[in-house]
């Protein structure tokens, strides 16, 4: 074997470049293996938090008087059919994003619809957010997640089902909604959608 010092200048450069390539590949592989994996929805939520920090900030929970629900809104006339369910949920006080209430309305097996009501004004700001396995939300956050991890059957449970049942579960979406308040206007919008089983296989 040749002594490194006896190699030609060109051979030394080539050997140095090869060493750099091996080192760079090692660093790249290390970073891939140690970086936390994020999916597209986690990425877009992080982007939303940067773009709209006020909307994404932790909410202070409202403790004032609860307004009567305004079922006369032309935006959601179908909500009138569920007055008792929605009113009962609102009477319990805020359970979402500081001063809002999410009311769950059953629509059959593995079927729920949801209304979002502002407890300060009584306005219904969203109606018909669908889910098959419920929602995840909190009093302090403005994010609603449909069919969250932990609410859907585990993959090993689904493996024992018929093909049609598997197909049904594997076509369930996980949607991410956010509530934004700007200039006395409240909006609910979906910012991302993914398959409910993404990352679980």
Local confidence pLDDT in tens for the 201 residues of the chain: 556 667 677 777 777 777 877 777 877 777 666 655 668 899 999 999 999 999 999 999 999 999 999 999 889 999 999 999 999 999 999 999 999 999 999 999 999 999 999 999 999 999 999 999 999 999 999 999 999 999 998 888 888 999 999 999 999 999 999 999 988 889 899 999 999 988 766
pLDDT of amino acid 5: 66
Task: Give domain limits for the chain.
Answer: 4-34, 40-195
pTM beyond 0.85: the answer is no
3-state secondary structure string across the chain: CCCHHHCCHHHHHHHHHHHHHHHHHHHHHHHHHHCCCCCHHHHHHHHHHHHCHHHHCCCCCCCCCCCCCCCCCCCCHHHHHHHHHHHHHHHCCCCECCCEEEEEEEEECCEEEEEEEECCCCCEEEEEEEECCCEECCCCCCEEEECCCCCCCCHHHHCCCCHHHHHHHHCCEEEEEEEEEECCEEEEEEEEEEECCCCCC
59 within 8 A of 119, measured Cβ to Cβ: no
Residue 34 pLDDT: 64
Cα-flanking dihedrals φ and ψ of residue 117, to 5°?
-125, 135
* pLDDT reported for residue 28: 72
Q: What is the pLDDT of residue 40?
A: 87
Q: What is the pLDDT of residue 52?
A: 94
- pLDDT at position 163 is 94
């Amino acid at each position: 074997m040749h002594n490194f010092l006896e190699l030609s200048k060109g051979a030394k450069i080539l050997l140095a470049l090869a060493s750099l390539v091996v080192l760079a590949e090692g660093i790249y592989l290390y970073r891939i293996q140690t970086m936390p994996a994020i999916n597209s929805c986690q990425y877009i939520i992080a982007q939303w938090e940067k773009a709209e920090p006020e909307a994404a900030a932790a909410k202070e929970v409202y403790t004032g008087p609860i307004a009567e629900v305004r079922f006369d809104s032309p935006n959601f006339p179908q909500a009138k059919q569920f007055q008792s369910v929605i009113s009962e949920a609102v009477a319990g006080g805020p359970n979402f994003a500081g001063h809002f209430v999410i009311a769950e309305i059953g629509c059959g097996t593995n079927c729920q619809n949801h209304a979002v009501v502002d407890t300060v004004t009584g306005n219904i700001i969203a109606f018909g957010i669908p889910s098959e396995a419920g929602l995840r939300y909190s009093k302090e956050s403005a994010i609603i997640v449909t069919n969250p991890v932990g609410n859907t059957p585990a993959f090993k449970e689904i493996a024992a089902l018929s093909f049609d049942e598997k197909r049904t579960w594997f076509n369930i979406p996980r949607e991410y909604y956010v509530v934004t308040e700007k200039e006395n206007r409240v909006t609910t919008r979906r910012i991302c959608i993914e398959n409910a089983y993404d990352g679980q296989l």
